[in-house]
Structure 1
Amino acid sequence: MKYLLVLATIVFGSWVNAQTEDVVYEYQKGKKYIVHFVQNGNTLWRIQETYKVPAKDIIAANPGVEKGIVEGQKLLIPVGVAETKYADGTLIKEHTVVKGETLFSIAKREGATVDEITKLNPGSESGLKLGQVLRIPLKSVTEQVKPVTEPVKQVETTVDFSDTIIAHTVLDHETLYSISKRFMVPVEELQKFNKLKNTNIKPGQVLNIPLKKEKVKQVEIRAVAPVVIEPVKPIDEELLFKKKEEYNIALMLPFYLDGGEAGFKDVATEFYMGVELAIDSLEKMGFKAKMYVYDAKNDSAAIMALLKKPEMKQMDLIFGPLIPQGADQVAAWCKTNGIRMVCPSASNSTILQSNPYVYAAVPTDITLQRILARYTVENHAKDQIVLVNTGVAKDKDLYDAYRERFIELSKEKGNIKLIEIKTDDLAAYIRKNGNTVFVVPTRDKGAAMKFMGALQKSGSKAGSGSISVFGTKDWANFEDIRGVSKNKFNLHWASANDLNYNLPETKKMLRQFRRKFKCDMSKYSAHGFDVMYHFTTTLLMDKSGAAGVINNFDLQQIGEGNGFENNQAYILKHVEFELERVGTVHE
């Protein structure tokens, strides 16, 4: 492995969120249609089931479909009468606002003007809310179907479906989620049909896909005019890497070699130690790369200077920056230059919006709350679940994320009751001689302390029952919450990683680390190893990813045209004054 340390030499001594999919509507002759482009694996049955529109109605709206559908074909799915008068061919996208979006950023991305959006959404000029649905006028869609100009004769259509199963061999880079999207079969149905305990699959594994085979019968009343479909370019959702004998990899870490920011310097150094250990393993596997290591300070001007270096446009993969504040800047540059980037630390979900070149190694706070909601539904369905609103405005996104995902998942369990309260009311909602789970989605130390103090005064009301508190990963740093309280109230949270020195794989890695650096491995070193090893093997070496030392990666694209986020986390619980891993959950 070749190394190029840019700007300075480093000497080591004894060694640092589900997004609702947008929907496009088209208006024709006073009627409203959903625009659907056929993907490889789609069937008329699955389209019918997905949109809850009878197949015969879909066929009636799309003459020629009775002969079969093809990849890339545009279908109009009838959903009713237009809510207002629109010119034929009008296209409107319904978009759910995510954190960090503004009218300007949405307008710029969609090719519309702010005035056009506010005209369709009165009141939006005063500001947007997370989860708000905006109607956005579009000028066109990517794939086009030539209009029929000849008179169309009507047909009376009947569609019969029969059960069929296809055997699908999992391809490299495929996930259960991408397969579910391709065949329009829910992930849960694929798991149940194939008796999968989780969502982990491997290349070469054979999955049975339940489908319906359609048989279309028509009683012709008038002849149907032919539909001519423009050839379309297949969608490349995987963004595959080209095979090379030697790759160029950039590593951007805040070493602060000229002084300052000691905390960042230590973390960067420990992270890099893990990277070096990963590179040792990759070299033994025959991987060759030229490594460029940059001192990327938390300064936009300094980062831009690094991005302007001539070798940067030759990179195959960029790791960093380690400091989230510089990640947006690098992500925008990577999108412009078509270079893939791995964010090794927690980042904002907006960095993934409309940028398929970004891979977030750490789940966002929003995703962690959605994962915690899944864990609650799957493991505490019979307990009393109480969601606490602490009143901290900056935590509203966490509260909403947990609430929405819990309600969605609870429908599968018979609508589990979710009680919503404020901190001051908690005493009235402790179940006597039963189990109560208080979910407190806050990053704020003061709010967490206030809740735990109130619970300490009222906890005896549980009698022989138990009380569990589900917090956030930030609670790991709230040292003012006593260990006795954490144990007594079974404190849980969802965490992106878990360094457990008692696990066999961790002990093995620790021995290798000590031999190389003559010191113990920190969580930053373990994270550096996991990130470098996983993304290099899966993206550049085309190998299936193995479980990491402290991470478990499952990268999912958060929507067409967006980036990829790790959707897997651990559930940690305080037991006997130590953290214990009680679950590995996939969102």
Structure 2
Amino acid sequence: MKKILALLLFVGATALYAQQKTHTVQPKETVYGISKQYGISQEELYKANPKIEKNGIHPGDLIILPTKGTTAVTPTDTKPTTEDSTTSDVFSDPNYMYITVQPKETVYNLTKKYNVSEATLTSLNPQIKERGLEIGDVIKLPKAITNKDNFAVPKGSHLIKKGETLYTLSKDYKVSVDDIYAENPTLQTSGLKEGMVISIPKKSGAVVIEENTINYTVQNGDTAYNILERYNTNLDELLRLNPEVINGLKAGMILKLPLQKNAKIIKYGKAGKLKRANDNEINIAIMLPFDVANNPQLKNSQATQFFMGAKLALTRLAKKGKNVNVKVIDTKNGSIQDILSTTDFSKTDAVIGPLNTSDVTEVAHFFDNSGIAVISPYANDDSLNSFNDLLISNPKDEVIADQIIEEITKNFAGEQVYLLTNRDDQELANYTKKELEKQLKANVVIVDNASKIVQPHDKVDGVDYYTPIITVMVGDDDNLGKQYLEKLKTFNKDNIKAYGIKSVSVYDVYSPENAKNIDAFREFGFVYSTARLINTRDTEVQSVLKDFKEIYCEFPTRYEQLGYDVTYDIVDRMNNKGDVTNNITTENTRVSSKFAYKKVSGSKAYTNDASRVVRLPKK
């Protein structure tokens, strides 16, 4: 009696249950069976109980039994017209169409018949995951389907696309991840999958999920019915978890609501919550997109090459007495935010990686102001400048270009300037052209083939007169570099100034096999700038290259060089407590890279602006 009284008091304000007959769902019952039991149509049941259109029915649910015939729905013309169709009782509302499952129908043939993905079907009908299809079930399908990935998504819903995460959705819609979980029971058990259709909460902040429970703050205007409907629960469960509601609902109350059985909730970490542990250990995490799950035999990816170099750096540092604890994380094995929220970084001093700008942005945001250094080994986009504790190791191409722009400025005499580049370095060539035109008022032409570089000349009384030109190879395309050198050899060396921005194999001054090419460049007084250069005459460098050959049987690739240099430089700067910022501004040269970190104007991040200028003076 007391429980019945509590129930009536709780729902009295809405008068939803007091005025209607109800039915408590029993195990194995279906909408079809209940409709036959009470002599009402399935359409009437769905109309009176909107929540079961969305979530199906579950044992213990309390559903309203409408007066027979009062809420009938007229079938529409959305019924499939295929000849072998065995499905009847099709009806629709402004957002969805509903079909009644007939004998012998399966999830597979429904996806084929209605051209909808299994993820979409099960997200709209979570009861399928729990108990499969049963004859008489009413299944909800999106309207206006043209293919599995293109249909009219109802207002207030979202179709999950490849690469989307709960974190990105929470940012896009400005709602919390907990809110999204609470309104989508399927997410709680199945996680986010491409092709799902999920509901987007109208308001953020009312829900906090803790200890496998939804803690919901009652809002003005809430009723018993809309709470039960929104969070897919029933009055018995609500009263069991919240006995105090016997006195009615009040705005500001915090109600405990159950999650789905076997719910798996990812709790996303919040930026600024971590602080670097100032202990007597060096702990680093290396985050790279190995994609081992899909490519177990992958050996030549950029991430794998980077890691091979990093491993050698750590081995050599250990021999010098640096004891380093290393955690390796495959960022392709789940979303970045999922990884960040489920990995223990409490003892981390520095994170090396990931490689691309978007991933680095998420990691840098997570560790911002934590004192834990994040090292971006490759990405160097301007958008990264807003993060504290971020070290951008790869000098910007513009820094390298500025060195040669300054060289040209010193010796400019009004010559025609040619910039030789390829598609990959087109943006850098555009930057160089703009700066030269602005600073020197030079006539600058960008070409994609060395044959398009022209040195005009006239012949008067048997004497050749050559028009002076300036040539600049922009980029690190080895084949284009060879083409560039062969073209230079055809020009009059006394009337040409030749430069290079970035490095190619024919510029390598330390390779014995390259001596003839270097001699040819010397004829032009060639000058080039580069971020990476291996001095094979240096004793320490020779030792590293020997280790590479003994362990990997090869000369290090560019990414192996980068992995070695970045890892060695960062760990070598750390004191025995793992603090890297104590020694961040010291200038160091490693195997191929030079590091000189500083904060440029308006930037919170530390940026490596070191590049090398190599001069090959005429003999």
Q: Same fold (TM over 0.5)?
A: no
TM-score (norm 1): 0.44
More RCO (CA 8 Å, sep 6+): 1
* Pair member with larger Rg: 2
TM-score for both structures, normalised by structure 2: 0.42
